[in-house]
Each structure stands twice: as structure tokens, then as C-alpha cells.
Amino acid sequence: MLKLPIYLDNNSTTPMDPRVLEAMTPYFLQHFGNAASRNHPFGWEAEEAVDYAREQVAKLIGADPKEIIFTSGATEADNLGIKGVFEMYASKGNHIITATTEHKAVLDTCKHIEKLGGEVTYLQVQPDGLIDLKELEAAIKPNTILIAVMYANNEIGTVMPIKEISVIARKHGVLVFTDATQAVGKIPVDVNKDGIDLMAFTAHKMYGPKGVGALYVRRKNPRVKVTAQMDGGGHERGMRSGTLNVPGIVGFGKACELCMLDMEADTKRVSKLRDKLETSLLLLEEAYVNGSREHRLPHVANISFKHVEGEGLLMGFNKNIALSSGSACTSASLEPSYVLKALGLGDDLAHSSLRFGLSRFTTEEEVDYTIKAISETVIKLREMSPLWEMYKEGIDLTTIEWAAH
Amino acid sequence: MAYSEKVIDHYQNPKNVGTLDKSSKNVGTGLVGAPECGDVMRLQIEVDDAGMITDAKFKTFGCGSAIASSSLATEWLKGKSVDQALAIDNMAIVEELNLPPVKIHCSVLAEDAIKAAINDYRAKNGMEKIQFEESVVH
């Protein structure tokens, strides 16, 4: 039986897997201890649970448990990773290379660093959303300390060539940080095979709880250190003070374990559903996929429906289907998605986009319902779109002098 | 952000969607907004010899509030004289549709579309275009 509303906004957050909740529950009630309490069983239980979760998390990304620093989420991990390296390696240099399509948690952290006297290069991406490796290498200078490029993009799902990036970085003795929030748990991520030195990720994008994430910090070849951004009791090997969120961490561990177990089967099933959704929607005239289709997360699709405005489109079905749009009709700036614009998309196409994020729990029935609802709404809105009418009359919309507004 | 019921109703059952013959002397067409800004409105009026608006049609590319604002505008225009139409203020649309502050620009666009349509009609019929003050919000 189809249950409404349908949730297809899994790049924002995922529902928790019931198995994760089950693992967490005892740590709210019976085992509520502080993992830093060394002198009684309550503390020991909590510490043991955290240690176990740390192993589960490390295993998913091919790391050593000692390399996992628990944080409140990916935003904090982004801040700690980038600011922490900037401070720790100040004597080596002050230049960071990143890309224009990064998440705000990285971009705004970089802006902050610029205010502190750091130097940041923002690489443009190609129309498919990938950075040009030659451009990356050319941007490296003697004072470059860090390359911060995301593993997979949150809006278009494009997967960056992290392995190739790290080869270049190694050659020049530069550290690699990656925000892998959207990738970990969805596609194989291995910090050693990928040559990653620091990596931010979070539980709630992989069927775990909100409010817990991690920063991976390499301990060998090379040994990487970050300056703490949160001072206090010296938790997490002095890199992140603050009482550990034990139930959250337990849930994070369980979520990682499940992702490792289910990844292959999930990917196979979900990518098939994504492809069905995408090919069906592309049957509509003037519908385009944004970003690389080849180098892409298996559960993500970002599609523009030309001559229909995204927010207006969402309104046609958002009571029954949860989705995001690259349009920003509500924001004061009226600026559409900076990620889509970075691909070179015109503002009109950026305003016309929808982002689909499927999950482990998405069913074929839900996909079929979505295809029908969106197709009908696009057709209906195009009938009332003056742009569609002009397009159908063969008028080149770029030749029209639009009233500035 | 939740839409008001009136916005939802206009969105689901828009009034007067369509196209009038823009080459006709009795028809005034206003095309305002820009695709880059995420909204384009085309509003048309048909005026009889007595200066009464006998028909109004719209087509809009935009969010639900933009669609509702233009749908409402066409309803208000029908049966009004051109002079009465000139008095339609965007804030009346805001009130009628309960538009939140971030959507006020949609009502401004509708007011601009009305004025543009009237000016087009005037120009076609040998009348001088009315100079309007710049819209505040855009």
C-alpha cells in the first residue's frame, strides 16, 4: 500500500533505520553514563559502547579507530578539519584550495579563514560538476597546505575524483580534506585507497541519528594533526572537547555497520529506481539532467524542467512528495542554487530544477507515483507558462529584452 | 513555508489562463519579470469602445504566489474600466492572498503587469503612455 507523503529528500536527511534506534535505546536509559567517567561501571559501559562504535565507523571507511574524532555533525567536522589544519600548519603555509560547488559549511569556513589572513583559491567546476585536475595542480603554490574538495555533491550527486586529487596532493606535500557527508555509507569510501588525510561525515545522512558526525584524521603516512576548535576536557585525544553523545555515537556506529552490510544490495536496488525515475521524467520535453551522469551517487538525480519554475512545480505535489528545488523564490536575494550556476546553467534552468534523493526505504510504487505526479504538474504548469508558449512559437527567449527586476 | 488557502486555490484552479490576440487593437499585453529572476508574467486585457475591460487572461512562469497574484489580478480586472484598473494596488493583492513578506514581489509584479498591459493598449490606440514610478521592491 502506498503511504503518503513520500519522502524523496534524502540528501537533506534520511529516516533512521529502526535497527539503529534499537541499538541506541539502552544508552538513553540504563546505560546513561558519561564515557569519560573512569571510576564506575556506568562510565565503563559508556566507554565500551563508544569504543565499539568507533570501530564500526572506522571499519566502514577503512580507517583505524584511533583516527575517528566524534563531533556534533559534518558542519562541525568541516570546521574542525579546515580551521584545525589552518592553525596547526600555520608555519608551513596559509593557502587552501577548494571548489565553488562545496557545501556552505566548507565555503563559509574558507571565507572565515580568508578574514584571518589565509589565502583561498576557489576552483571553478566543469559543466559536469567535476573539477579539472590540471587546474587543481596549477593552483598549488609553495604555501599551499590543504586541498578541500567534497567527495560527492549534495545537490547534484556528482562524485569527485578524490583518488586522483590525492595523488596530485601527495606529489606536492599538500594535505587532502574531503567533505564526504553524502558519500559515506552510499558508495565505497576508503581513506587509504583514496589517499584522504581528513574527512568529514555524519550519521543522519546514512540512516543514523541527527547530532553526531565524525572527522577522520590520518595518524600514519603522514601523521596529521588539527588544532582543537572546542576547548575543554580534552576529549577525543584533545581534538574535540565535550562530553560524548553516547547514544548518538552508538547509533552512528550501528548505521555504519548496516551501510557496510547493505551497501551492495541497496545500491543495486536504489540505482535501478533512480534510473527509472530519471528516464521516465526525461520523456518530458525539455527536461535535462544536471551534473555528470557517469560520476554520480546511485540514489541522486537533479533534473531541470525548462520553462517551469521549481517552487511553483513543487507546490503541485509537495503535500504528497517531499523534494527540494534549486530555485530560491523565497529567499530575499531571489538567487537560485549557486551549485547549479557553477555548472554554467542559466538562472532560468537553475530556477527550474528539482533534486531527488532516494533511500534504502524508497519503493517502486513511490517512484511510479512520483513520475506521474511530476509529469502531470509539469504539463499543467507549462500550459500556463508564457515562456513555454513563446518557446513553442519558436521565439528565442534570449533575444527578448526582459524588464530588469 | 505554508501557503494560504487562497493561494492554493488559485494555484490549483487558476482563473483566466490563456492568450488573447495580441495583434488586436483592443488588446493590451503586459510582459513583466525575467526568467533569470524566477518569474515572468504575461497579462492581457481586452477593452471595449467604452473603455471597459471585457476580458483578461494571464500566463505566468513562477512560484505559486506569482501564479495566484496574476490569477487574482485577471479576476479583478474584468468588468472594470481602464481607469479603475489603474488604481489596483499591489498591497490589495497581498492582503487578499495573505502573501508573506518574501512573496510581496509577486504582487508587485502583478501590478506592474496590469500597468504594462494598459500602456500597451493606450499606445495601440494613439494615447500617450502613462509614466509610472519605479516599483519599489524590484
DSSP secondary-structure letter at B125?
A: T
What pLDDT, in 10s, does the model give residues A7-37?
Answer: 999 999 999 999 999 999 999 999 999 999 9
For an interface test with A, give the residue of B37, B44, B99 to mutate (most A CBs within 10 A).
B37
Q: Which residues pair with B41 in a beta bridge?
A: B32, B60
User: Is residue B80 in a domain?
Assistant: yes
What pLDDT, in 10s, does the model give residues A336-395?
Answer: 899 999 999 988 889 999 999 999 999 999 999 999 999 999 999 999 999 999 999 999
Residue A404's pLDDT is what? 54
The answer on A277 and A239 residing in a single domain is no
Q: What is the mean pLDDT of residues B54-69?
A: 96
3-state secondary structure of A90: coil
Phi and psi at A309, nearest 5°, equal: -85, 135
Q: What is the DSSP string of B95-124?
A: HHHT--GGGHHHHHHHHHHHHHHHHHHHHH
The answer on A69 and A28 residing in a single domain is yes
Tell me the residue type at B12. Q
User: Is residue A405 in a domain?
Assistant: no
The answer on A147 and A211 residing in a single domain is yes
User: Is residue A1 in a domain?
Assistant: no
Cβ–Cβ of A385/B61 closer than 8 Å? yes
pLDDT band at B133 (very low <50, low <70, confident <90, very high): confident
Cβ–Cβ of A309/B103 closer than 8 Å? no
For an interface test with A, give the residue of B36, B74, B108 to mutate (most A CBs within 10 A).
B36
Distances (CA, A) of B53 to A298, B84, B91: 55, 10, 22
Say what the pTM is: 0.93
Where does residue A55 fall: left (phi above 0), alpha (psi -120 to 50 degrees), or beta otherwise? alpha
The answer on A179 and A39 residing in a single domain is yes
The answer on A188 and A74 residing in a single domain is yes
pLDDT above 80 (res B28): yes
Tell me what ipTM this predicted complex has.
0.93
The answer on A359 and A248 residing in a single domain is no
- The domain tally of chain B equals 1
User: Is residue B65 in a domain?
Assistant: yes
Mean pLDDT (chain A) is 95
Q: What is the mean pLDDT of residues A159-165?
A: 98
User: Is residue B132 in a domain?
Assistant: no
Cβ–Cβ of A336/B61 closer than 8 Å? no
Give burial (CB, 10 Å; 0-12/13-18/19+) of A197: buried
pLDDT above 70 (res A263): yes
The closest CB to that of A386, out of B1, B61, B105, belongs to B61
Q: What is the mean pLDDT of residues A178-186?
A: 98
User: Is residue A145 in a domain?
Assistant: yes
CATH number of the domain where residue B18 is located: 3.90.1010.10
Cα atoms in the 13 Å half-sphere on the side-chain side of A393: 9
Give the sheet arrangement for strand B53-61, strand by strand. Answer: B27-34, B39-47, B53-61
Residue A113's pLDDT is what? 98
User: Is residue A404 in a domain?
Assistant: no
User: Is residue A60 in a domain?
Assistant: yes
Grid coordinates belonging to B71: 490569477
The answer on A162 and A309 residing in a single domain is no
DSSP run (H or E) holding A43: helix A41-60
User: Is-contact B11 B27, C-beta < 8 A?
Assistant: no
pLDDT above 80 (res B44): yes
CATH number of the domain where residue A234 is located: 3.40.640.10
Grid coordinates belonging to B2: 505554508
pLDDT above 90 (res B136): no
What pLDDT, in 10s, does the model give residues A51-88?
Answer: 999 999 999 999 999 999 999 999 999 999 999 999 99
pLDDT above 70 (res A109): yes
The answer on A291 and A152 residing in a single domain is no
Q: What is the mean pLDDT of residues A135-160?
A: 98
pLDDT band at B137 (very low <50, low <70, confident <90, very high): very low
Cβ–Cβ of B39/A309 closer than 8 Å? yes
pLDDT above 50 (res A330): no
The answer on A150 and A178 residing in a single domain is yes
The answer on A254 and A113 residing in a single domain is yes
Residue B119 sits in which domain range? 5-123
Give burial (CB, 10 Å; 0-12/13-18/19+) of B19: middle
The answer on A210 and A112 residing in a single domain is yes
Q: Where are the alpha helices (DSSP H) in B13-136?
A: 64-77, 82-86, 90-97, 104-124
The closest CB to that of A311, out of B14, B63, B135, belongs to B63
Q: Which of A259, A285, A302 is the last residue of a domain?
A: A259
Contacts of B41 in chain A (CB under 8 A): 386
User: Is residue B108 in a domain?
Assistant: yes
- Which residue in chain B has the smallest CA separation from A386? B59
pLDDT above 70 (res A331): no
Q: Which of A231, A259, A287 is the last residue of a domain?
A: A259
Produce one character per residue of A122-140: b if its CB has 16 or more CB atoms within 10 Å, e if not: bbebeebbbbeeeebeebb
CATH number of the domain where residue A332 is located: 3.90.1150.10
DSSP secondary-structure letter at A226?
A: -
- Which residue in chain A has the smallest CA separation from B100? A330
Instruction: Flag whether residue A29 sits within 8 Å of chain B, measured between CB atoms.
Output: no
Q: What is the mean pLDDT of residues B116-120?
A: 96
- Which residue in chain B has the smallest CA separation from A346? B36
Residue A163's pLDDT is what? 98
Q: Which of A241, A259, A277 is the last residue of a domain?
A: A259
pLDDT band at B138 (very low <50, low <70, confident <90, very high): very low
The answer on A376 and A345 residing in a single domain is yes
- Which of B 65-124 lie inside 8 A of A, CB atoms? 65-67, 102-103, 105, 109, 112, 116
Cβ–Cβ of B32/A405 closer than 8 Å? yes
Distance CA A289, CA A384 (A): 23
Q: What is the mean pLDDT of residues B3-32?
A: 95
- The domain tally of chain A equals 2
Residue A146 sits in which domain range? 18-259
Contacts of B63 in chain A (CB under 8 A): 309, 311-312, 315, 327, 329-330
- Which of B 4-63 lie inside 8 A of A, CB atoms? 8, 11, 14, 17, 19, 31-42, 58-63
